Amino acid sequence: MIEQDYLLKIMQEFIDAIGKIMRRPNEDDQTAEARMQAHFDAVSRQFFQQPTSHFLRLEKEDILDDLVAQSDPRRTEGRAQMLAELFYRNALIKSSLVERLDLLEKSLYLFAYIGRTSRTYSWDRERKMADIRRRLDEFKTEG
């Protein structure tokens, strides 16, 4: 019970941290993207002890192995949830189509993993996965 409470507290801190990353109306797009990316990197370092770029260099299949290697395998699902959320939110701010697609694909991969391994069904996770699939389909029809 104590471990579950601890994990819920960490998840809430994580959600609060990425929730603070918002665009200011008086910033141009490049300034806003750079500022938000710096915040994403700070959150990634705080919760994963790695910058966002570390995960971007990895193939989506290797990310789970990296998460397992970094901590207790029992916490992989929670860490995968956090990283999937970080990728998803990060993709929404990217101006580069290539980076956006990479982040969306990695986020979808991690959300799908969680869906397969979790004992809990999540409407929010399913909604995000549907949104990611829709965005990926849009990008494929544009390109």
Q: Where are the domains of the chain?
A: 2-142
pLDDT at position 106 over 80: yes
User: What integer best gives the mean pLDDT of the chain?
Assistant: 83
Task: Please state, in angstroms and as integers, the Cα–Cα distance from residue 2 to each residue in 6, 14, 64, 109, 132, following that order.
Answer: 6, 18, 25, 30, 34
Tell me which H or E stretch contains 103. helix 97-117
pLDDT at position 16 over 90: no
Mean pLDDT value of segment 7-35: 65
Tell me which residue of 16, 3, 1 sits closest to 89, measured CA to CA. 16
Dihedral sign from CA coordinates of 48, 98, 93, 134: negative
pLDDT at 101: 94
pLDDT at 67: 87
pLDDT digits (tens, 9 = 90+) for 54-98: 998 999 999 988 988 887 777 888 889 999 999 998 898 888 899
Confidence of residue 22 (pLDDT cuts 50, 70, 90): low
Residue found under tokens 């990895």: 58
pLDDT digits (tens, 9 = 90+) for 107-140: 999 999 999 998 888 899 999 999 999 999 988 7
